[in-house]
Amino acid sequence: METPNTLKTLILANGDVNDGPLVRRALAAAPDAWVIAADGGARLARFFGLPVHTLIGDMDSLSAEEVAVLSENGADVHRYPEEKNETDLELALDWAANQGAAWIRILGAVGNRLDQTFSNVYLLALSALAGRDVRLVAGRQEIWLLPPGESLIQGAAGDTVSLIPLNGDVRGVRTENLYYALRDETLVFGPARGISNVMQAAEARVWIREGILLAVHTLGRA
């Protein structure tokens, strides 16, 4: 197994594959990434033809034979009890942060379990991930958090961008190169005002004075 780049990490959650252009872009951006499988996420690794460097979880979604094969192929196995406070994905994110990963892409975290999807989105707010580039990627979408200050959104003119308050009202929001401009305004938790904006150039910018926004970037018109 080749030595991976610990600064870049791919985490495979135990969910739907949701393959698509942004997933393939993430894979191409980090061909030497450290690959962490959160329990059954190891099957996503097989789908994408990726090695598993680290396997984390309670192993309730993999057979003993599958775990043994992964270990024999070089995976470092971290087994946890089934009755625990953290999900397997949370354990994987904490482990990646402790290893110094600065760029993390999470695949398989958006699926048909709404509770699990919400939980996976909220994991982006883990204190251990502060200051790191961490995104959920599924199909033609990528999802990440915008903290106070200036943030850059890269894509193409015509792409869809939604800005959603995550933990209360977000104040002092300004945007550049989005069709529906925000000018030092408040996005209130609840109303859907920040949904389905449209990029007017390859780059858009968002400034926030107070609060956290969830950014959802979709290739093309959603």
Q: Distance between CA atoms of 141 and 143, rounded to whole angstroms?
A: 7
Output the pLDDT for position 1.
54
Return the CATH number of the domain spanning residue range 146-218.
2.60.120.320
Beta bridge partners of 56: 38, 78
Output the pLDDT for position 2.
62
Given the structure tokens 């939980």, which residue do they identify? Answer: 119
Give CA torsion, residues 50, 13, 57, 65, to 10 deg: -50
Mean pLDDT, the chain cut into blocks of 10 residues (222 residues total)? 81 95 96 96 95 96 94 95 92 96 97 91 96 97 97 97 95 98 96 95 98 97 86
Return the CATH number of the domain spanning residue range 5-139.
3.40.50.10240
**Sequence spans of domains, the chain:** 5-139, 146-218
Output the pLDDT for position 6.
78
83 CB-near residues (< 8 Å, 6+ apart): none
Question: Contact, 12 vs 108, CB < 8 A?
Answer: yes
Both structure tokens of 126: 């883990």
